[in-house]
Structure 1
Amino acid sequence: MTNERQEEIRLLLQQHGHLTVAELAKSFGVSDMTIRRDLKHLAGLGLVRREHGKASYLQSAGPDTLFLSRLGEFEREKTAIGAMAASLIAEGEPVIFDAGTTTLAVAQFVSAGCVAITNSLPIAGVLGERAGVTVLVTGGELRGTTFALVGPLTRSTVSGFNAEKLFLAASGMDLERGLSTTSMLESEVKQEMLSSAKKVILVAHSQKMGRVYYHTFAHWDRVDILVTDSGLTEPARRSLTDRGVEVLIANPARRILPK
């Protein structure tokens, strides 16, 4: 419940700009102290700004915060996708988390104890606070725009990991061209991850369907499950099902602040 509440707090702050601790406490039916702890956690991730008695949504202002600004794109859908995908993790499983904003949403809802390996610094930070989760971070070169680790050292670390599940991200997905991305370095890491996991779970909002970027790193025969939102068209869903991909639809919920 804590992870879900923190996600909803962030959504509310994005919607309203700023809210007081008292307003948030009333909205969620919890104490001011609980809200302050939530805000401290979100501020530590660089997602909100804490002020005296209130908090505000942290607007990104430069290329070094591009990754954080992308969290706001289709945020409600990503939150729902993350919650559903995280429920697929069984206690004690070794799991890989690919770098990305939607895979970060998955990490924010992890409740099962597991062993997680990731090349994402934001995901490592989130999972590091989860009781019962052992976090392994790959080495490698840091990409400032995504806070992802890439390169030969990253690939070497991933190749030695035997995972039950991979939570995979993609910049684009297309029925014919498969999964694509804009970074050759990240594409190489994704391919190594695909070879190190028994089950591949693609997490992506529906607006990515039909998008093709310059490098395809996998086709649909490598994907076991797609977790997406209700914007996916029925013809696309049927086509994926025919290809052997299980499609799970996550429906965003909305919390309204009391007036």
Structure 2
Amino acid sequence: MAEHIVRQGSVSVTELAESFGISVMTVHRDLDELERQGMVRKVRGGATAQASNVWESNIAYRLKAHTAEKDAIARVVAGMIEPGSSVMLDDSTTALAVARQLQELAPLTVVTNFLEAIRLLAGHPDIRLIALGGEYHATHDSFLGLGCVDAVEAVSTDVVVVSTSAISEKYAFHQEQEIVLVKRAMLGSGTRRILAVDGSKLARVALHRVAPLDDFHVVVVDANAPADLLQRLRDHHAHVEVAEL
């Protein structure tokens, strides 16, 4: 059921009952358990794996969303990173796309709290990998909390790459305060700060402000973003790089 919801994005209780040949009561019970595990979110009449301004989507959904755009962004970001430097990556799927590109830039030191990125880079002979610990959150497949913040603040990297769920003309936002705290700590630990977001995040807000856009040295966004939103972003930030697909 979780895979079906992730694949569809949002579904109704009636559709789930018909698709799986079970009662509406059973659907509600199963959705309660999936929500408890952080895999989906119950909404009126159904469930969703998509993000809202107060709730981030599950990692399984994010891994499948806007993959071409994230890969294009990652190539541009990788072009800003020098071999031999140190790079901090957050737990975004855009940063994961960057991690794939970093394998071609070794030797590097990579610091991250994202378990999927750790799995990807572990064992690479020319990448020194520093895993940021803390409390594991299955919804994000990453480590968060005070332990993670302390670990971030104990290091300093040449570059930090973060993504956020929403950006307005002036701020980057995220729905969950534990993630916001880690991202803020990361921004304080990087000499060059890169914000990497696909076009679906533009002209949106979420519950918590992560940082003003002026705190980032460069904002990288894909060319599929609406032209008017790209122009508004350029009007408010001097360094916007557009990744061609």
Would you call these one fold, judging by a TM-score over 0.5? yes
* Pairing 1:148-187 to 2, within 5 Å after superposition: 148-176=142-170, 178-187=171-180
Matched residue, 1:20 = none
The alpha carbon displacement at 1:69 in A equals 2.9
Report the RMSD for the aligned CA atoms in angstroms.
1.9
For 1:97, which of 89, 94, 104 is the aligned residue?
89
Question: Structure 1 residue 118 and structure 2 residue 112: aligned?
Answer: yes
Matched residue, 1:41 = none
Distance 1:218 1:157 in 2: 20
Q: Residues 90-130 of structure 1, C-alpha deviation per residue, up to 9 Å, x if partnerless?
A: 11111100111111011011122211110100011112243
Does the Cα contact within 8 Å between 1:167 and 1:200 map onto a contact in 2?
A: yes
Does the Cα contact within 8 Å between 2:169 and 2:236 map onto a contact in 1?
A: no
* Pairing 1:42-121 to 2, within 5 Å after superposition: 66-110=58-102, 111-112=104-105, 113-121=107-115
Does the Cα contact within 8 Å between 2:134 and 2:145 map onto a contact in 1?
A: yes
Matched residue, 2:24 = none
How many residue pairs get matched?
191
Matched residue, 2:29 = none
Distance 1:92 1:154 in 2: 25
Task: Show structure 1 runs of 5+ residues with no match.
Answer: 1-13, 15-61, 253-259
Matched residue, 2:193 = 200
Task: Show structure 2 runs of 5+ residues with no match.
Answer: 1-6, 8-33, 40-57
Tell me the amino acid that sits aligned with residue 141 of structure 1: E
**SS of match in other structure, 1:146:** coil
**SS of match in other structure, 1:201:** strand
For 2:183, which of 182, 187, 190 is the aligned residue?
190
Q: How many percent identity over aligned positions?
A: 25
Distance 1:222 1:245 in 2: 12
TM-score w.r.t. the length of structure 2 is 0.72
**SS of match in other structure, 1:188:** helix
Question: 1:145/1:232 Cα in 2 relative to 1: closer, same or farther (>3 Å)?
Answer: same
The alpha carbon displacement at 1:217 in A equals 1.1
For 2:202, which of 173, 195, 209 is the aligned residue?
209
Distance 1:244 1:212 in 2: 17
**SS of match in other structure, 1:226:** strand
Bigger drift between 114-123 and 222-231 goes to: 222-231
Matched residue, 1:248 = 241
Question: 1:157/1:245 Cα in 2 relative to 1: closer, same or farther (>3 Å)?
Answer: farther
Bigger drift between 228-237 and 95-104 goes to: 228-237
**SS of match in other structure, 1:232:** coil
Distance 2:85 2:236 in 1: 27
TM-score w.r.t. the length of structure 1 is 0.69
Does the Cα contact within 8 Å between 1:94 and 1:164 map onto a contact in 2?
A: yes
Does the Cα contact within 8 Å between 1:240 and 1:246 map onto a contact in 2?
A: no
Distance 2:87 2:168 in 1: 26
**SS of match in other structure, 1:79:** helix
The alpha carbon displacement at 1:68 in A equals 2.7
**SS of match in other structure, 1:166:** strand
Distance 1:222 1:121 in 2: 26
